[in-house]
Structure 1
Amino acid sequence: MLDEELLQERLEQYQPEPLVDTTNVKTKETIESYIINEDENNIDLAKTNFLNFLDHEEIKQSAENIIRKYGVGTCGPRAFYGTTDVHLELEQKIADFMNMEDSIVYSYGFVAISSSIAAYCKKSDTVFIDKEANFAIRQGLTASRSKFVEFNHNDPINFKKQVENVIKNERKPSRKFLIVEGISWKTGKLLPLEEFLKVAEEFKIRIFLEESYSIGIYGDHGRGLTEHFNIDPERIDMIIASLEAALGSIGGFCAGTHSIIEHQRLSGSGYIFSASLPTFLVQACIEAIRLMEDRPKKMKTLAKEFHLFLEETCEYKVHSDPESAFKVFTTKDETNRKEKEEEIHLYCKKNGVHFLKTDGGLVINLYIDLLDKKSRLEMAYKVLKEAADL
């Protein structure tokens, strides 16, 4: 046994690493916050409302009717008084929409991604991820404690090289997973899905596809990359996505085979321990899928036009895919890039065009209503062009 003096000495010497890095944490007071009142002098390109579902009258009326029947929440997890017939209807609707056997709905998009990863990937597994993988994916891997190997952004050749290197050096074979984003949260770039699938299938690697920013946007019916590239969804083990982007609600889902989805009902922590998604938000998703119609085609038209404008008229450097619903761009002049971005952002803000400024560049979130309101679109074009010419 340690004597009391030695115990105290060792306790004083013990300096564990913090669970969370707080060195760059901003206080509430230092984070800029203001309300954008959309009118003839202001246009909001900061919020995510790609398909104009946030203020859709039919969706609001349908959600109100559900509140009158079910209230605003079940106050319990899905497996404990938290499931209603509306939850089951949405899960079936998503499965049918994605051409998959089954689906499961979570109450928070971030947790849908992180929990579903942790439900399958274990400490002894090897997971291959993009160097630009989003925070939700990385949190899922932290929870799983799996070994992860990074490859260059959207680079299937480098991915194959990393797989071969792992296989060559591992002492005993491990289960292997590939987790990729259809549209990168950070760069807006489109994943070359077929090339990644070929490598994964060659080495028998399980494939998880995260489609938060491609569902509702890519493919003629908004089914994401499988429809966009005409790829059989059965080649993908699981499709994961937030319901908080194109569908304009809250929550997230996973779609796959019945056995893959059923496993999460017993081991998906975000499903087991979180209160279920409020029923009126479930209904909002059902209505959004029903109202999808030709919205993805309209978004494609707008996205490509806006992309062309930024590149050719303003001569900005656009990182995101031409069909991406959000545009990540910066100035072509690398000299004092940050200062120039700040200048562009401030000018646009003062002249009523509001969008985001991030570490990766400037970010504009489009919405299809701009196609019908040409004066709003022309206003955005005019201000962005003036900012580029500063």
Structure 2
Amino acid sequence: MDMALPVVNATAAVLARVSAAFNAPFARAVVFGVHIDGHLVVEGLLIAVIVFQLSRKSYKPPKKPLSEKEIDELCDEWEPEPLCPPIKDGARIDTPMLESAAAPHTTIDGKEVINFASANYLGLIGNEKIIDSCVGSLEKYGVGSCGPRGFYGTIDVHLDCEAKIAKFLGTPDSILYSYGISTIFSVIPAFCKKGDIIVAFAAFVVFIAVCASTTSSSALVIVSHLGLLPPLRALPPHLQAATVATLGRWCSYLYMATDVAIQAVGPTTSPSTSSNMIHPQCHRIFLDYTSLFSDNRVLLRQFSRYAVLAPRPSRRPSLPVFSDIGNSGQIAPLDEIVRLKEKYRFRVILEESHSFGVLGQSGRGLAEHYGVPIDKIDIITAGMGNALATDGGFCTGSVRVVDHQRLSSSGYVFSASLPPYLASAAVSAVSYLEGNPSVLADLRSNISFLHKELSGTPGLEISSHVLSPIVFLKLKKSTGSSNTDIDLLETIAERVLKEDSVFIVASKRSPLDRCKLPVGIRLFMSAGHTDSDISKVSSSLKRVSASVLSDYI
């Protein structure tokens, strides 16, 4: 504004002088009783120039067709940018192809193998009752639903499935989604709007950032938890800069925790103390904190202070909680999280894809496992592909939470609804779980037996929770290179499959990952596995790992 004022003054002065110059010869001119002043001449000239410019035809450069030689040269010079990062040398790109259902025993390359690579926790894949319900639904409704739920895509079996899940979990209402992974991707943007704050464990920084990117006005707070991510300050300087630059794509303001105070780094701010956390513009925060549940509550208290004292009274932090971390087998401490929620006024979004149908006395998930009342959880989501042997996902909670998604959740509004036969399979699977609680005892017995059998595996150790259906084996001693670690683990998995017909998988890492969790071998336990299956995978792993890791033990 200060720079524009001299320009305006100079322009006005020039026009005044021009008008004065024309005023002299026309000082006594009168046309049709109208006194002609110099400013009328200037304005007339300006109007003439404007009319001339508007009446001109736009300039079109002469069209000269390219010769065949020029076209060939342009095509030869064109180099398209890669759509994805190049595959590194030694990376495995060929994965085994299943030739039958992903049951505890499956077929690969015409050979029957024991399957520890598929999430089939209750062993319901291939269950006759579920298959019969799918066949009956196919005969009655056909395959697809022919549209989203709001556009002729709602079938009575969808409503039955929603009512069944809500009754099973003891919630007022629930809503179905077509794909398990799209559930949480749709729920978070539906509820996190401008000025809201998302608190996510560092293990899910990429996952939650993708969710938050659909609502660019939401804040993103990343909290390192359980030692899964080393503090940013411990990284080399060039990696710190790269991390800050990457997070800057998502966050306007980054707050990096140090041992004493919080430093704010933003496009228009200089490093300062934590007092700026209540600044109305500083609504996007990065917290690199070794544990959310430490005795030192300074960062959490200051974050809560920011959330409470911010100018918008409706601003509330949301805490997405993943019940079971799929890449490490850890289980979230829900009881502690709920206690913090009530103290610091969080909204808790609980994702239970790996705990629904698994944890708790009757398989009702993490809340039942910890004895937390279900109404203490604001939003619960889960994919149905891991325990219920079907596809799709659901979100459950209060009637208000569910109704809001029917018009605001992209995955519900714009996606074709879940095929009716998959909804029928979900209803049958929940009914089976209610009528056969012993299947949970079988699953826990298998998990306990596998932990016992895998103890003492050369070069490997179990880092997962004793109740997690994902048994995670990591290297006792890293080689110092994640690529080398992954190569060793994939070699073990390949040899176990080739030599002993046991299908296991090593954890994968994407070049886009911002959080480098420990790599390892994941074993997906099922209630359908037998003791002989578990003994075989244990003995095979011990023998192969002793051979592959002989130089690292």
TM-score, normalised to structure 2, is: 0.63
Q: Which residue of 1 aligns with 2:13?
A: none
Kindly indicate whether the alpha-carbon contact (under 8 Å) linking 1:266 and 1:272 is maintained by their aligned counterparts in 2: yes
Q: Which amino acid aligns with 1:356?
A: V
> 5 Å matches for 1:11-22?
22=84
Match of 1:303, SS state, is helix
Q: 2:300 aligns with which of 144, 157, 163?
A: 163
User: Which segment is superposed worse, 343-352 or 96-105?
Assistant: 343-352
Kindly indicate whether the alpha-carbon contact (under 8 Å) linking 1:125 and 1:147 is maintained by their aligned counterparts in 2: yes
1:15-65 CA-to-partner distances (Å, cap 9, x unmatched) read xxxxx9833579xx9721222463686212112211111211111111000
> 5 Å matches for 1:56-205?
56-133=127-204, 136-145=207-216, 146-154=218-226, 155-157=291-293, 161-168=298-305, 171-172=310-311, 174-205=315-346
1:174-230 CA-to-partner distances (Å, cap 9, x unmatched) read 321111101012211011111111111101111111110000110121100111111
Asked if 1:268 corresponds to 2:339, the answer is no
Kindly indicate whether the alpha-carbon contact (under 8 Å) linking 1:78 and 1:275 is maintained by their aligned counterparts in 2: yes
Asked if 1:340 corresponds to 2:488, the answer is yes
Kindly indicate whether the alpha-carbon contact (under 8 Å) linking 1:36 and 1:44 is maintained by their aligned counterparts in 2: no
> 5 Å matches for 1:215-364?
215-292=356-433, 293-294=436-437, 295-312=439-456, 316-335=460-479, 337-351=485-499, 352-358=501-507, 359=509, 360-364=519-523
Q: 1:213 to 1:134 in 2, by over 3 A?
A: farther
Match of 1:97, SS state, is helix
Find the aligned partners of 1:366 and 1:266 in 2 and give their Cα distance: 38
Find the aligned partners of 2:135 and 2:380 in 1 and give their Cα distance: 30
Identity %: 31
Q: Which amino acid aligns with 2:337?
A: F
Find the aligned partners of 1:134 and 1:111 in 2 and give their Cα distance: 17
Instruction: Tell me the CA shift for residue 110 of structure 1.
Output: 1.1
Find the aligned partners of 1:124 and 1:138 in 2 and give their Cα distance: 15
Kindly indicate whether the alpha-carbon contact (under 8 Å) linking 1:151 and 1:162 is maintained by their aligned counterparts in 2: no
Q: Which amino acid aligns with 2:524?
A: N
Q: Which runs of 5+ in 1 are unaligned?
A: 5-19
TM-score, normalised to structure 1, is: 0.88
Match of 2:455, SS state, is helix
Match of 1:226, SS state, is helix
1:293-328 CA-to-partner distances (Å, cap 9, x unmatched) read 222222111112212322345562222211111112
User: Which segment is superposed worse, 44-53 or 62-71?
Assistant: 44-53
Find the aligned partners of 2:520 and 2:538 in 1 and give their Cα distance: 18
Instruction: Tell me the CA shift for residue 168 of structure 1.
Output: 4.5
Q: Which residue of 2 aligns with 1:379?
A: 536
User: Which segment is superposed worse, 336-345 or 47-56?
Assistant: 336-345
Q: Which residue of 1 aligns with 2:285?
A: none
Q: Which runs of 5+ in 2 are unaligned?
A: 1-57, 60-81, 100-105, 227-290, 510-518, 548-553
Q: Which amino acid aligns with 2:396?
A: A
Match of 2:349, SS state, is strand
Kindly indicate whether the alpha-carbon contact (under 8 Å) linking 1:74 and 1:275 is maintained by their aligned counterparts in 2: yes
Find the aligned partners of 1:203 and 1:54 in 2 and give their Cα distance: 42
Q: Which residue of 2 aligns with 1:15?
A: none
Q: 1:383 to 1:266 in 2, by over 3 A?
A: same
**Which of these two proteins has the greater Rg computed from alpha carbons?**
2
Instruction: Tell me the CA shift for residue 96 of structure 1.
Output: 0.9
Q: 1:286 to 1:34 in 2, by over 3 A?
A: same
1:50-89 CA-to-partner distances (Å, cap 9, x unmatched) read 1111211111111000110000111110011111111001
Q: 1:156 to 1:166 in 2, by over 3 A?
A: closer
Instruction: Tell me the CA shift for residue 247 of structure 1.
Output: 1.1
Find the aligned partners of 2:298 and 2:148 in 1 and give their Cα distance: 43
Tell me the C-alpha RMSD between the 2 structures. Answer: 2.6
Kindly indicate whether the alpha-carbon contact (under 8 Å) linking 2:304 and 2:344 is maintained by their aligned counterparts in 1: no
1:304-354 CA-to-partner distances (Å, cap 9, x unmatched) read 221232234556222221111111212213236444323322321212111
Q: 1:121 to 1:378 in 2, by over 3 A?
A: same
Kindly indicate whether the alpha-carbon contact (under 8 Å) linking 1:113 and 1:137 is maintained by their aligned counterparts in 2: no
Q: Which residue of 1 aligns with 2:242?
A: none
Find the aligned partners of 2:195 and 2:336 in 1 and give their Cα distance: 27
User: Which segment is superposed worse, 48-57 or 131-140?
Assistant: 131-140
Q: 1:298 to 1:138 in 2, by over 3 A?
A: farther
Kindly indicate whether the alpha-carbon contact (under 8 Å) linking 1:134 and 1:186 is maintained by their aligned counterparts in 2: no
Q: Larger RCO: Structure 1 or Structure 2 (Cα < 8 Å, ≥ 6 residues apart)? A: 1
